[in-house]
Structure 1
């Protein structure tokens, strides 16, 4: 049934098909298709999903995906596995085929068989396709190869009825978040293997006046790792008016602070494993707001 000169509607292939006759702009089948189960196709006949679109989708208010914890089960953490897997992926720049001359020719022949166009119109349509220098249409994109992602994150890859792979790029967001966390921990470890950044109000050891540069002001705790208790020796320069040994997690949070008796030039403190959760820590000797030294240790 025709809806004026530029539109047609029919019940075909167990669904309602809106199409445009030859001669009108953007002519062809499946401009809008609604099948008997309610699936909708725009620019294609839907097969698998509730909405299938052959083309780009534009929205002014974003896209929301249900993510309520009350709807989920078998929830597990994915930390500790994301960074190494992401390192195996290879981002690409490419031209992706978005339409082909073969598909358009098939569309012409289908419309001819359905009586929607005449033999003369089909010949004119095929002739116009032949005059196109490159019958296939491509779009430049950044992305990944679906087959590569399938090897590492199979849950993010699906196939349509024609065997074409698609990627759930939104599903990469939690993976990227956890990978950043893993990377942050590695950065902290590397920083502590080199130098500890100064906190607000601290000066570097070289600014103390030079008389203690090169001296061992802070010892490594013994034993290390800490299983029950561990001893730390320290020495303070002459003229110290305030001093403390502070302990920090690998993320930089202060977990313990031990003020020192400035009347004692050399002394020691004892810490216990009860003060720390399992993990890597850093402790610093600070006198008169000057960082005199730092060490790292492990708590079991």
Structure 2
């Protein structure tokens, strides 16, 4: 069955089962299907927002079962943040993490051998990095936010290394001083022994 074409002033054309967007979409356009809303404005697409400010502007949680490629930056401006606290004992936290190799069950994720964490284990140490789907109960890991934890862990480890190097240098210096003192005692002993031999020879 062939459906007729429908056009609209905002650049939307419906032909059969194909929806085409044309024109400039100078006014907000909304497509609703069973409560699902997509909003178009000025070439931008919004999901969960009627005023999309980016090419794809999503308000809500995005779930992806495949690979994702991002070539832009994540918003991290200090002016947008509050309750900023330093990470404490990052090295201790990292030592409790367990990296594993695994494969997904058929149809449940990418094929082939994978490397990562088990969400339930990571959640015990860093619950902020684990998201639990309210519908399925399945857990997902925010691998990107592991970066600052690893950075602080490396810094803490480097501080420990520098402290050990300082202790080692001090120990070496003390050993050198002890060796020099021993050598001095040996020289004095040799002088005393030499003087004693000469004294006995002069009798």
With normalisation by structure 1, the TM-score equals 0.39
- Identify the residue that residue 92 of structure 1 maps to in structure 2: 100
Matches of 2:139 and 2:97 in 1, distance apart? 17
Query: For the Cα contact (< 8 Å) 1:83–1:179, is it kept in 2?
Result: yes
Q: Is the partner of 1:177 in helix, strand or coil?
A: helix
Aligned match for 1:194, one of 168, 173, 180: 168
> Structure 1, unaligned stretches of length 5 or more?
18-33, 40-45, 101-135, 197-203, 205-211, 217-300
- Identify the residue that residue 158 of structure 1 maps to in structure 2: 131
Aligned residues: 144
Equivalent residue runs for 1:11-160 within 5 Å: 12-15=33-36, 37-38=48-49, 48-49=60-61, 51-59=62-70, 62-79=71-88, 81-97=89-105, 99=107, 138-160=111-133
Q: Which has the higher contact order (CA 8 A, sep 6+)?
A: 1
What does the per-residue CA deviation read over 1:77-99, in whole Å, with 9 as the maximum and x for residues that have no partner? 113x1111110111001112472
Equivalent residue runs for 1:221-232 within 5 Å: none
Matches of 2:139 and 2:124 in 1, distance apart? 13
C-alpha change, 1:83 and 1:177, in structure 2 (3 Å) is: same
Query: For the Cα contact (< 8 Å) 1:97–1:137, is it kept in 2?
Result: no
Matches of 2:154 and 2:73 in 1, distance apart? 24
Residue 182 of structure 1: how far off its partner (Å)? 0.9
Flag the structure with higher helix content: 2
Aligned match for 2:180, one of 212, 215, 239: 215
> Structure 2, unaligned stretches of length 5 or more?
4-13, 20-30, 39-44, 51-57, 182-203
- Identify the residue that residue 192 of structure 2 maps to in structure 1: none
Flag the structure with higher strand content: 1
Residue 53 of structure 1: how far off its partner (Å)? 3.3
Q: Is the partner of 1:138 in helix, strand or coil?
A: coil
With normalisation by structure 2, the TM-score equals 0.55
Equivalent residue runs for 1:135-284 within 5 Å: 138-160=111-133, 161-195=135-169, 214-216=179-181
Alpha carbon RMSD of aligned pairs, Å?
Answer: 4.0
C-alpha change, 1:4 and 1:56, in structure 2 (3 Å) is: farther
